[in-house]
Structure 1
């Protein structure tokens, strides 16, 4: 998989810039706030249709414009594809493959695969459970694009069910002795739908963690000098043992019944995959309570390398690797490990403020671009 060309129009701080990638490794050099991360964000959007920096399309559009566009040419083993996304300050985005607008965004996913690694990824260890769920869901979408629709269906059911529970809570608050029987048929219907959608989400999450854990464990042992043991544990809010849809759905319905009164008084759904947790343990101790930032960075590095490997195994081609100023976050040993693993195996786009972070062999084999105030020029060292 190779990103051959990227064209940005009115995207973030880029007015109209085109980049042709001429080497397997590209180093973007420049001071902070010049547009290096914006370029990586554009590639991330092509791969996942999401940005880890914002959920608002209008923030992706240049201040003086009403819309922005990302275009790319992606070469794969058996095909070459043109990708395009148009973001609007008002209105919905448009996605196209080979100049054909797509009705479903799902059909856009999977043409380009990429793994992003930035300093923000330390939140995977020390951040809220939602951060870890989002990371896991992002990986699943790249492995199985239809998961995007599955997750969307679950969230739609969750919103509708929460709206009904808020109504029930309001009735109870207005009249503690009042009847809520009229809500019961509708609530039971949402229970069934939450269990069905939640079953599809939790089973896929469990499967991908089972595949990811041994890969991450091997990388972590290698990076840590085999002094520490990493475990990636999926802790579903609804526990189940057999990967069979009807049995998982029954586990959901049983748990919902147990928490029915609590949900009605709280006015929200407290059972479901939106409350799942993903735990990282080092030597059987939760990593968020364990050790130094250096050890947490080792863990995140192992997770990202495992993510790369798993995507490569599933799709049959190495994904792109996007590294956003991470070398400054790693000590020399971890830097060396990361750069050695990358080699020429993955197309890599990496940002830095200082080119001397890299050894001469890396510099010699890389395309080096200077980024300044939304302009990109080839740098000759």
Structure 2
């Protein structure tokens, strides 16, 4: 997979910009707040239709404009491909593949596979469970585009069930029709079980890869445990029982849900356990240990996506080298080599060895303009 061309129009601080990627490694250098991360964000949107920086399209459209557009040309083993994403400040998105408009997100997802690593990813260890769930779901969308649909359907059912619970709590004198709740329970369990099964299956494949990378980067001094901790207690090796277990635990928490007015059961409350030498990394890991853990996760992502998709994904490194010491930088750069097309942002070139600079395309970013 090779990203050949990217064009931005009224996107973030880019009024109009065209970029040709002429080398496997592209280094975007410039001061902060000039637009380096915005370019990587555009690639992320083409890959996952999500941004880790905002959930609102109007934040992506340049101020004073009605719409923004991202266009990319790439080469895959299956042939050339063109993608266009149009974002509107007050309206629906438009998606097109090879100049043909597609209505379903499923028909757009999966064309660009990427792994993004930024300083914000340290929140995978330091942050709350929601951060780790979002990471899990982003990887899954890369591997199974249909997962985006499943998760969206689950979220819709969850929203409607929560609205029912809140109405019942707010108006006990005239509660909504009680017959509705079992229907929401069944839909929640049906969609939620499919989400849980996919999360479990993916982490089962990712965990040994991350453990191997972590063992290597730590100099064989530390052991990583990466484990899925679903909100539904069940035997993951018996998925046929999951739906029944889901309904049983909804019933067991019915009293608490009645008093709190929210859904307490389901994958929206899952956790991913990260342990270093049997100690929770979030609570006790040093900054160095946390950086090692996140680097191991990202290298495992690269490896897993390449194994499953059959092509190396793009790697987006957003000002991350400054967060890594020399040993971890060398581990990362050695793992990348020439196998992965890599886009790197940095405020200075001092972190790169001469051989890297000689083989890389270096672009300067200043006030939404990119120059060679």
Q: For this structure pair, what is the TM-score category when the shorter chain's length is used for normalisation?
A: over 0.9
1:122 corresponding residue in structure 2: 122
2:368 maps to 1:371: no
Q: Which runs of 5+ in 2 are unaligned?
A: none
SS of aligned partner of 2:140:
helix
Cα deviations across residues 172-203 of structure 1 (Å, max 9, x unaligned)?
A: 3xx4xx8x6x6332100111000000100001
Cα deviations across residues 145-176 of structure 1 (Å, max 9, x unaligned)?
A: 0000000110011011011111211233xx4x
Equivalent pair of 2:196/2:230 in contact (CA under 8 Å) = yes
Q: Which moved more, 1:259-268 or 1:45-54?
A: 259-268
Equivalent pair of 1:168/1:183 in contact (CA under 8 Å) = no
Residue of 214, 235, 250 corresponding to 1:256: 250
- Matching of residues 344-363 of structure 1 within 5 Å: 344-363=338-357
2:217 corresponding residue in structure 1: 223
SS of aligned partner of 1:333:
helix
Aligned residue-pair number: 372
Deviation at 1:105, TM superposition (A): 1.3
1:164 corresponding residue in structure 2: 164
Q: Which moved more, 1:238-247 or 1:339-348?
A: 238-247
Q: Give distance in 2, aligned partners of 1:32 and 1:197.
A: 42
Cα deviations across residues 28-67 of structure 1 (Å, max 9, x unaligned)?
A: 0101010000000000111111000000001111113111
SS of aligned partner of 1:101:
strand
SS of aligned partner of 2:178:
helix
Q: Give distance in 2, aligned partners of 1:197 and 1:245.
A: 13
Q: Give distance in 1, aligned partners of 2:177 and 2:257.
A: 14
1:89 corresponding residue in structure 2: 89
Q: Give distance in 1, aligned partners of 2:111 and 2:238.
A: 30
2:152 corresponding residue in structure 1: 152
Q: Give distance in 1, aligned partners of 2:139 and 2:179.
A: 37
Equivalent pair of 1:229/1:283 in contact (CA under 8 Å) = yes
Equivalent pair of 1:29/1:353 in contact (CA under 8 Å) = yes
Q: Give distance in 2, aligned partners of 1:258 and 1:157.
A: 20
Deviation at 1:243, TM superposition (A): 4.6
Q: RMSD of aligned C-alpha atoms?
A: 1.1
2:329 corresponding residue in structure 1: 335
SS of aligned partner of 2:19:
strand
SS of aligned partner of 2:203:
helix
TM-score w.r.t. length of structure 2: 0.98
Equivalent pair of 2:200/2:236 in contact (CA under 8 Å) = no
Q: Which runs of 5+ in 1 are unaligned?
A: none
TM-score w.r.t. length of structure 1: 0.96
Residue of 177, 188, 211 corresponding to 1:183: 177
Cα deviations across residues 307-333 of structure 1 (Å, max 9, x unaligned)?
A: 110100110000000000101111111
